[in-house]
Amino acid sequence: MEKLSIIKIGGNIIEDETSLNSFLKLFSKLEGKKILVHGGGKRATHISSKLGIESKLINGRRITDKETLEVITMVYGGLVNKNIVAKLQALQIDAIGLTGADINSIQSEKRPVKEIDFGFVGDVKKVASNSIDKLIKADFTPVFCAITHDGNGQLLNTNADTIASTIAVGMSKIYETSIYYCFELNGVLSDFNDKNSVIKQIDSETYQKLLKDNIITDGMIPKIDNCFDALNNGVSKVHIGNTAMLTKENENFTTITL
């Protein structure tokens, strides 16, 4: 099977022009087939504030009312996505910017209301692997923002980490897929106060021990659980670290396997 890399970047990289340019250079040099997935929450919060729209977050998750959805669509699907695509074209990468509505690539359903009404937030149900593969086989590099749709004309705000993992799972029927979650730390740390204490390999057995010893806690638990979920559904490897993990020289990041 041919290899396919799915790389996800978040707000800290997107917000800083130097970091973004540096990442995109690394991304452009990454060999083989690849897909980029990006968020943009910090930029959306900043622009909402300028427009006098209050951003509502509960436990770090955005409540997406009608006004917020309009801002997110403009920011994620427009400003951030097209800025990235233009920068990639300058690096000779023939990129194509997409939401999940484009070519019906990612369908979601509106999250049911339980204790909290998250509004227009989507949980992914279906990835159109063959449609996405047509773009890849035509030598385009898909760049997905964190917006999907419900198949009935409604756009939905969707977690970018989830989009990256569900695309990787969907594409694993066609390719040997790996996910790279890029964030500000070097990887999963054994000591949060020591930024170089990277745990380089985590498998299911190691993970249980790290949980028992309270080394992996809080927000990192759902992240790693998502990683194992992807691995159990066909993804080959998941990597977590800063953008330097895309270079051959750097080995100081975390790789998660079964």
Which phi and psi angles does 36 have, rounded to 5°?
-110, 135
Torsional sign, CA 30, 231, 147, 139:
positive
Specify the pLDDT at position 59.
Answer: 74
pTM: 0.95
pLDDT digits (tens, 9 = 90+) for 50-99: 999 998 888 778 899 999 999 999 999 999 999 999 999 999 999 999 99
Specify the pLDDT at position 218.
Answer: 82
For 195, the 3-state DSSP assignment is coil
Q: Decide the pairing of beta strands 106-110 and 122-127.
A: antiparallel
Cα 48–chain centre separation: 22
Which phi and psi angles does 131 have, rounded to 5°?
-65, -45
Mean pLDDT of 182-199: 92
